[in-house]
Amino acid sequence: MKAIAKTRPAFGAELVDIPVPRPGRAELLVRIAACGICGSDLHIYEWELGAERFAPRLPMVLGHEPAGEVVEVGPEAGRFKPGDRVALDPFGHCGRCATCLSGRFNLCTSPTTLSGAFAEYTIAPIANSYRVPADMDLEHAALLEPFATGLHGVEQSNVKAGDRVVIEGPGPIGLCTALSARAMGAATIVITGLRADTERLQLARRCGFETVCAEDEDWIAQVAQRVGEDGADVVFDAAGMMQSVRQLVKRGGQLVLLGWPARDLPSAEMRALFFHGVNIISSRVRSPQTWRRAIALVAGGQVDLAPMVTHRVDLANGLEAFELLRRKQGVKVLVNPAR
């Protein structure tokens, strides 16, 4: 079968031919219908921002936001059967470590993982697999992983009905965080981005959110006009930059970190956050409970993820899609192996 793989610790990736895998005892073989390209896929493609930690796993098939149909099950696959439609989480859980036993499955020390989903088929441990309704569009199901990431971040915060929220970064995770905050009742949601994010900011406005370009000279004042002079109740950093958070968040407010850290923070910035009483939260991936709520919100129509999809490509054109995203064009690109 065809697959997009990272074969060496350097820039780029390759289209390769590999055998169709077979499921182990507690695994599923899934025919991939769609798999989104994530920002972390792009970091691995560019071999930057911590991607070197994947070096021991090379060569490896990329892709970790998939949905598809179960075609074969292992003998201990439990409730799963061929024909089930599933969304897959790249970060599963062992169920045995101290964090799993405390219910914090998203911090598992020995997580189960996918074999890579930019391929015609992938292997999924049952701990990584979530059945979705039979009538759910599998493209929408492939968006559940980033949506659940944003939803988990909002769940880690104290966002309440009527709150004011700022989200730094208008990419898919930022947009999913905004959709989640709105579903939780946030009254004011402002998404910030750069001039290079023009297309993404336009999409955010079409989705009903206010936006500010963080390269405008008065951008902090523009945000303050929308959230109030005392600042936002919660700032979500979905860009890894923590851009001027002290000026955006109220005293005693929250900063939720969602993006891969993209810069070192000077001690002066950390001191400013400390004396401002900002509660800093690192939101790590998702939990099984979050997955169930994400599926319910999308299946029930409370959240519409479809507008996020701006491009669809087959496996043969997948590498071109990486270059498109490097140019900050598009929002969510789906790789559809069957196209």
pLDDT tens per residue, range 102-111: 999 999 999 9
Under the banding of pLDDT at 50, 70 and 90, the label for residue 256 is very high
pLDDT tens per residue, range 150-207: 999 999 999 999 999 999 999 999 999 999 999 999 999 999 999 999 999 999 999 9
Give the architecture (CATH level 2) of 2-143+305-335.
Answer: Alpha-Beta Complex (3.90)
331/311 Cα distance (integer angstroms) = 8
Residues carrying CATH 3.40.50.720, the chain: 149-282
Pairing of strands 14-17, 66-73: unpaired
Query: Where do the DSSP E strands lie in the chain?
Result: 2-6, 14-17, 27-36, 60-61, 66-73, 85-88, 121-125, 129-131, 164-168, 188-193, 210-213, 232-237, 249-257, 279-282, 309-313, 332-335
Nearest residue to 3 (alpha-carbon basis) of 61, 67, 72: 61
Q: Could you write out the three-class secondary structure of 193-213?
A: ECHHHHHHHHHHHHCCCEEEE
Tell me the β-bridge partners of 313: 335
The average confidence (pLDDT) of the chain is: 94
pLDDT of amino acid 316: 92
pLDDT of amino acid 259: 84
Give the architecture (CATH level 2) of 149-282.
Answer: 3-Layer(aba) Sandwich (3.40)
Residues carrying CATH 3.90.180.10, the chain: 2-143+305-335
8 A C-beta contact, residue 148 and residue 290: yes
pLDDT of amino acid 281: 95
